[in-house]
Amino acid sequence: MINWQPAAPTLWQGRDDSAESSNALRLFQTITLSPAFTPERYREQIALLGFACDEGVKRNQGRTGAAGAPDALRKALANLASHDGHNRLVDLGNIVAQAPDLEGAQQALRSAVKRCQQAEMRTFVLGGGHETAFAHGAGVLDAFPRSKVGIVNLDAHLDLRHADQATSGTPFRQLAQLCEEQQREFHYACVGVSRAANTQALWDEAQRRGVTVVEDLHCHQAQTQLAQFAANMDILYLTIDLDVLPVWEMPAVSAPAALGVPLATLLGLIEPLCRSGKLQAVDMVEFNPRFDDHGMAARVAARLGWQIAHWWH
């Protein structure tokens, strides 16, 4: 596997309560660490993959540091209690971007995701910047060429930018173009969008492409819209830009949200997707440990990831 590295076992450490009871377990005790990239050995499990990449954020003139997120999030997840669903997690390591070759790293992740999906694994990717989404989404589209794939993005930004090269701001425009190349429809819902953080040109692009958009101000009413969107799809890909959360819950991102959508509200939107039976792929992106002085933002992100794995049917 190009650009691939196994996850360090030292990342998965925590408190051992097993003397108390045989089921007093934490994630570091139930996760499977794969020494090689062999998704075919783990059918019907959840592939945990890191995308250690900063290049997209750098090209988008953002605050770099997200390349360190996958391992920081592993550490934050390790000591959380293991409940239903968590024993299905298999750590398949990191795809590591070698700057400035973003495109090469994206192709490596795309291929890895396609291979996992074809091996009947679901994929849970820890970014990296939101450039992660083009690679992850492309891998899903490649793996399900005859399926109607719906992309749900929880994000303050539409990420439909026009640019001369791929960045963290272009992934959904790139996925739209890929759908055109594959002669399939582009199905995209963006929830939590800040009108203050997106130019009119981006709103026009969303309208032109038929994007389902829910503003941050209206997310308490978004469940019906998401349910209607999901009902028309065969497969769902959920991508979560952590900058959708308010700055007081998630300061450790490139572009913190002044308003944002609180974690409790987001979880109410996410649970039906996890339980739908259609969710095939999830990622969390844009976490930046450089701006998480006390580890509090990592805890927020870890709880979000923990909850998704617990609910994911």
pLDDT tens for residues 94-147? 999 999 999 999 999 999 999 999 999 999 999 999 999 999 999 999 999 999
- pTM greater than 0.85: yes
Of 226, 153, 227, 165, nearest to 190 by C-alpha is 153
* pLDDT given at position 264: 97
% of the chain residues with pLDDT over 70: 100
Is the pLDDT score of 161 beyond 90? Answer: yes
Is the pLDDT score of 150 beyond 80? Answer: yes
What's the average model confidence in pLDDT over 200-208?
98
User: Assign residue 267 a region: left if phi > 0, alpha if psi is -120 to 50, beta otherwise?
Assistant: alpha
pLDDT tens digits, one per residue of 190-203: 999 999 999 999 99
What's the average model confidence in pLDDT over 12-23?
96
DSSP reduced 3-state for 94: strand
What's the average model confidence in pLDDT over 14-43?
97
Tokens for 128, please give them: 């990296």
What's the average model confidence in pLDDT over 68-88?
98
Is the pLDDT score of 88 beyond 90? Answer: yes
Yes or no: say if 214 and 155 are a contact pair by the CB < 8 Å rule: no
Is the pLDDT score of 39 beyond 90? Answer: yes
Is the pLDDT score of 1 beyond 80? Answer: no
What's the average model confidence in pLDDT over 267-271?
98
CB atoms closer than 10 angstroms to residue 195 = 15
* pLDDT given at position 227: 97
* pLDDT given at position 276: 97
The CATH fold of domain 4-311: Arginase; Chain A (3.40.800)
Q: Please report, for the chain, the start and end positions of each structural domain, with discontinuous segments joined by +.
A: 4-311
Handedness of CA 158, 163, 168, 173 (dihedral sign): positive
pLDDT band at 221 (very low <50, low <70, confident <90, very high): confident
Tokens for 266, please give them: 């987001």
What's the average model confidence in pLDDT over 219-244?
96
Query: What is the rounded average pLDDT for all residues in the chain?
Result: 97
* pLDDT given at position 173: 98
Token look-up 């959904």 returns 172
d(C-alpha 68, C-alpha 46), whole Å: 22
In angstroms, what CA-CA distances link 69 with 32, 49, 258, 295? 20, 12, 22, 12
Of 250, 239, 204, nearest to 51 by C-alpha is 239
